[in-house]
Chain A
Amino acid sequence: MSKKNTGDDIWKNNVEKIVKLFTLTYGSVVSQLCRDFQNNYYEVNQQLDKMGYNIGLRLIEEFLAKTGIKRCQSFKETADIITKLGFKIFLNIQPTIENWSNDGKSCSLIIPEPNPLTEFVELPITSDSKIGKELWYSQILCGVLRGALQMVQLDCDVNFIKDVLRGDDRTEMRLKLNKILKDEVPAGED
Chain B
Amino acid sequence: MKVYSILILNKAGGLIYQNEISSGLNKLSANDYLVLAGTLHGVHAIGSKLSQSISTTNNLKNTEELNSIQNSNILSFGKALNPNNNKSGLQSIETDFFNLYNFQTVSGLKFIIITSPNDNFENFETSNEIFRKLYILYSDYVMKDPFYSLDMPIKSILFDKNVKELFR
Contacts and interface: CB of A to CB of B under 8 A. Distances in A.
**Interface of chain A: mostly helix, strand, loop or mixed:** helix
Contacts, number: 136
A113 interface: no
A61 B78 contact: no
Interface in A3-23: 3-9
Contact of B67 (A65, A72, A185): A72
A189 B66 CA distance: 12
B143 A188 contact: no
B89 A72 contact: no
Contacts of B150: 57-58
A112 to B, nearest CB: 18
Most chain B CB within a 10 A radius of its CB, from A60, A68, A81, A84: A68
Contacts of A189: 48, 63, 85-88, 104, 106
B126 interface: no
A117 to B, nearest CB: 19
Given A57-B150, A61-B135, A188-B44, A152 B80 contact: no
Contacts of A130: none
A153 B44 CA distance: 19
A171 to B, nearest CB: 23
Contacts of A60: 107
Contacts of B64: 73, 190
Given A64-B107, A68-B80, A85-B74, A187 B48 contact: yes
A5 B81 CA distance: 13
A177 interface: no
Nearest to A62: B139
A98 interface: no
Interface string B72-105: 0011111111111111111000000000000011
A44 interface: no
B22 interface: no
B11 interface: yes
Interface of B: 11, 44-45, 47-49, 52, 60, 63-68, 70-71, 74-90, 104-109, 132, 135-136, 138-140, 143-144, 150
Interface of A: 1-9, 57-62, 64-73, 77, 80-81, 84-85, 151-152, 184-190
17 contacts: A1-B79, A3-B78, A61-B107, A61-B135, A62-B144, A65-B136, A65-B139, A66-B80, A68-B83, A68-B132, A70-B66, A71-B106, A72-B71, A77-B68, A184-B108, A188-B45, A188-B86
Top 10 closest pairs, chain A to chain B, by CB = A188-B89, A5-B78, A68-B81, A186-B108, A62-B139, A188-B48, A187-B45, A70-B67, A58-B143, A65-B135
Given A68-B84, A69-B71, 13 more contacts: A1-B77, A3-B76, A6-B79, A8-B78, A58-B139, A58-B150, A61-B139, A64-B107, A69-B81, A73-B64, A73-B65, A84-B75, A189-B87
